Amino acid sequence: MKNATEGLVRAAFGRHYEVELLDGPQLGQTITGFPRGKKSPYACGDRVALEIASADQAQITRHLPRTSLLYRSDAYREKLIAANATQVVLVVATEPSFTDDLLARTLVAAEVEGLRTLIVLNKCDLSAQLEHARERLAVLAKLGYRIIELSALSDASALLPHLAGETSVLVGQSGMGKSTLTNALIPEAQAATREISEALDSGKHTTTHARLYDLPHATAPGGRLIDCPGLQEFGLSHLSFGQIEEGFVDFRPHSGNCRFRDCRHQNEPDCAIKAAVESGAIDARRYEQFQRIVSANC
C-alpha cells in the first residue's frame, strides 16, 4: 500500500530532488524524491505530491499549484530556476564585471512573472570599480529598481529588512557572491558548503544546484532564500514580443501609443517608443537592450 503525502523541494539536482515532508509520520524529515519518467519538471521551492517508497525515497507524482515559476529557455528547452518565489534578488559585483544583458533579461523574466526585484551590488569593499559599477546601475536606479550596496564578506545585514516574509531567489553570474551572501545570512548554509567542499577535497565552492534555506526567525521572520548556480545567459525564448515589452517597465507608459498596433518600434512612422527615446523619456541604452532581446527571439 503506497503512502501518499506532500513535500517541499529543498534542493533540485536535475534527476532527483531533496524533499522535505510536510505531513505524515515522517513530517519534517528529508527524503530523496524521483520524478516519474525521464523528465524532471520540478524546481527548487515546488510543493509536490509524493508516494513514499521507502524510509528515504519517494516518487514525485506531480507538483501542486505554483504561485510563480522563474525559468529561462533557449530554442530547445526550459531550465527551471525556482518555484513559488516572491522576489528575485539580482546579485552583481564590482569585480568581476557583470553583463548588462543578463541583468536586463533577468529583470524582464521577473517582471513578466510578477515577482518583486531587488539588485544587490556586492563587493563594495573592492573600491576601484565601485564608481563604474554604480554608473552602470544608475539607469536602473532611475527606473525605481531598489539597489543595495554591501560587502557580503564583511556584512550582509543591509539585505535583511528586504527578506522578511519573502521567498527570495538569488540570481546572477557565477562569482558575484550569491553563496557568500547565503552563508552570511544563514548559519546552516555555511556548514553545508564546508562539508561538501571537504568531501570533494577541493577549495572551490561552485554552486552546482539550487537550494532553499529558511532565514533565521530573529533576523528575517518568514523569509526564505534560494541559492542558485551561476548563470551565463538568461534565455527568454518563451516570451512573446508583447511580454518582453511588458518586462521593460520604462516602456509601459508609452506602449500602445504607436500608430500601428503591431509596431516593432524600429522604423515605423509615429512610433511612441522611438519618440520617447528621442525625448529622453526612455534611455537609449534600454531601447538598444530591448531590440537585442527581441531580435534574439526571432
Ligand X SMILES: Nc1nc2c(ncn2[C@@H]2O[C@H](COP(=O)(O)OP(=O)(O)O)[C@@H](O)[C@H]2O)c(=O)[nH]1
- Kindly give the pairing relationship between strand 224-227 and strand 116-122: unpaired
Q: Give the shortest CB-251-to-Zn ion separation in angstroms.
A: 9
Q: CB-wise, 5 or 182, nearer to Mg ion?
A: 182
Q: Give the shortest CB-114-to-ligand X separation in angstroms.
A: 25
CA gap 293, 244 in Å, rounded: 8
Q: Give the shortest CB-102-to-ligand X separation in angstroms.
A: 12
Tell me which residue of 39, 40, 38, 35 sits closest to 58, measured CA to CA: 35
Distances (CA, A) of 61 to 4, 27, 38: 10, 18, 13
Asked whether the beta carbons of 21 and 27 are under 8 A apart, the reply is yes
In eight-state DSSP terms, residue 215 is P
Q: Give the shortest CB-202-to-ligand X separation in angstroms.
A: 13
By CB under 5 A, tell whether 47 contacts Zn ion.
no
Distances (CA, A) of 45 to 33, 53, 85, 134: 14, 22, 7, 32
Q: Give the shortest CB-229-to-ligand X separation in angstroms.
A: 8
Q: Give the shortest CB-108-to-Mg ion separation in angstroms.
A: 23
Task: Catalog residues that contact ligand X under the rule CB under 6 A.
Answer: 122-123, 125-126, 151-153, 172, 174-180, 205, 207, 230
By CB under 5 A, tell whether 273 contacts Zn ion.
yes
Task: Candidates 244, 271, 282, 294: give the one binding Zn ion (CB under 5 A).
Answer: 271
Q: CB-wise, 5 or 180, nearer to ligand X?
A: 180
Of Zn ion, ligand X, Mg ion, none, which one does residue 273 interact with (CB within 5 to 8 Å by kind)?
Zn ion
∠ CA 243-248-254, rounded to 5°: 95
CA gap 8, 48 in Å, rounded: 6
3-state SS assignment for residue 212? strand
In eight-state DSSP terms, residue 128 is G
Residue 242: phi, psi to the nearest 5? -65, -35
Q: Give the shortest CB-184-to-Mg ion separation in angstroms.
A: 13
Q: CB-wise, 24 or 230, nearer to ligand X?
A: 230
Q: CB-wise, 208 or 267, nearer to Zn ion?
A: 267
By CB under 5 A, tell whether 294 contacts Zn ion.
no
Q: CB-wise, 118 or 293, nearer to ligand X?
A: 118
Q: Give the shortest CB-265-to-ligand X separation in angstroms.
A: 34
Of ligand X, Zn ion, Mg ion, none, which one does residue 263 interact with (CB within 5 to 8 Å by kind)?
Zn ion
Task: Candidates 263, 277, 293, 294: give the one binding Zn ion (CB under 5 A).
Answer: 263
CA gap 272, 255 in Å, rounded: 7
The dihedral region occupied by 197, where left means phi > 0, alpha psi between -120 and 50, and beta the remainder, is: alpha
Task: Catalog residues that contact Mg ion under the rule CB under 5 A.
Answer: 178-179, 207
Residue 96, preceding peptide bond in cis (omega within 30° of 0): yes
* Residue numbers 226-245 binding Zn ion by CB under 5 A: none
CA gap 217, 137 in Å, rounded: 32
Of Mg ion, ligand X, Zn ion, none, which one does residue 68 interact with (CB within 5 to 8 Å by kind)?
none
Tell me which residue of 180, 174, 131, 191 sits closest to 151, measured CA to CA: 180
By CB under 5 A, tell whether 169 contacts Zn ion.
no
Of ligand X, Zn ion, Mg ion, none, which one does residue 24 interact with (CB within 5 to 8 Å by kind)?
none
- The residues of the shown chain that bind Zn ion, judged by CB under 5 A, are 258, 263, 265, 271, 273
